[in-house]
Structure 1
Amino acid sequence: MRDIRCLAQNGLKVSPSLLAADFGDLNRQIAEVTTAGADLLHLDIMDGHFVPNLTMGPPVLKSIRPCSELIFDTHLMIAEPLKYVTAFAEAGADHLTFHLESENDPLAVIKAIRAAGCTVGISLKPATPPEAIHPYLPEIDLVLVMTVEPGFGGQSFMANMVPKIRALRERIDDLALPILLEVDGGIDEHTVSAAVDAGAGVLVAGTAVFRHPDGMKAAIARLKGQK
């Protein structure tokens, strides 16, 4: 069963971002990153409105779904996630994370994602304080902290986001909720320790995995070896 709730709460998980892969050879790239030790596959969905970039839509997910048993960790960086929940779920998404800053009511989006049969995550942009997500924590399965401004891969890790990661880790633990805490943006073998020490349990890494000079297996091993 492809369900993030079946992942152990302890130990680091790596969710390589497909945005950094070679889109001319996706099936082979996905097979290689799976063999290399990926725990999930992160899919960045951008609409050119909520963030200044366009990426993939449901047809891409549908085309790669048959070649992978990894959990599709689908990050909706779109203005109106309610319009697309069903399409992405039907295309093969297992988990849908939407932004608290999107235009739709968060509780309505959560309800729609549950109804579509997916697990639910909420992401926060760098400027959004951790307290903004507190009312929704009991309703979700994952929190995604952006440590770059969303929109493009290959950006540098924002160290000033570390206190936010730590604050969310403490809040989740205080409430004893089975929520995964994911971090996305500038994660590599040099920045991972700061995120992990603050309490991150799932690491999104694109360039640092798919384009590592020593290969994907070495990249994932080094990320997981930091803690």
Structure 2
Amino acid sequence: MAGEPLVLVVEDEPAQREVLAYNIRAEGYSVMTAGAGDEALIMVKETPPDLIVLDWMLPNVSGIEVCRQLKTAPETSKIPVIMLSARSEEVDRVRGLETGADDYVVKPYSVAELLARLRTQLRRTRPAAVGEQLEYEDIVLDMAEHRVYRSGDTVTLGPTEFRLLTAFMERPGRVWSREQLLDRVWGRDIYVDSRTVDVHVGRLRKALKTTGAYDDPIRTVRGAGYALG
């Protein structure tokens, strides 16, 4: 389903990698996997995930080094990283967090605990994905009820416009290119002409200005894309 969070699992042990991927998919998330650190860095550059579950001990490039590189690059620094490690010593935990990891889970761990921590990180970066209510100025988007309100008035949106508005409201001010919106709203495996984005943004704008008294909250950034506010 388009719009669901994408989680990258980086684990060199195949059985462990499959168990993690299976359980994360069962939570309703998309998953891609890597078995080595250098492979993970290439994948993140090609298809940035919403969250990374990263094993410390990896061949070629260690998890610590992968985390360091991701957190020092502006384009990937905001992606949450949950570090997995058999190292339970406090000094290792501190080193993992100092490298930029957002959370640190010691092996062996319960899958339920890892999923809870995963949801916590996504709540921060993709609040709509965990059923939160989003608010921007006078617009309220209720994920649980799948409804949108503006100054208390109900706004009627189609499914695509709802997903578009969700993306905008999760990151107010962020400029989204048409390609990024296609990935987030329509899905990475579906071919849609980028002009389709313009059509649906137009429909979303029209719906948000239903009474004619409301301002258009969506900004067109020439040569770049669209932004909320």
Instruction: State whether TM-score is above 0.5.
Output: no
TM-score, length of structure 1 as denominator length: 0.35
Higher relative contact order (CA 8 A, sep 6+): 1
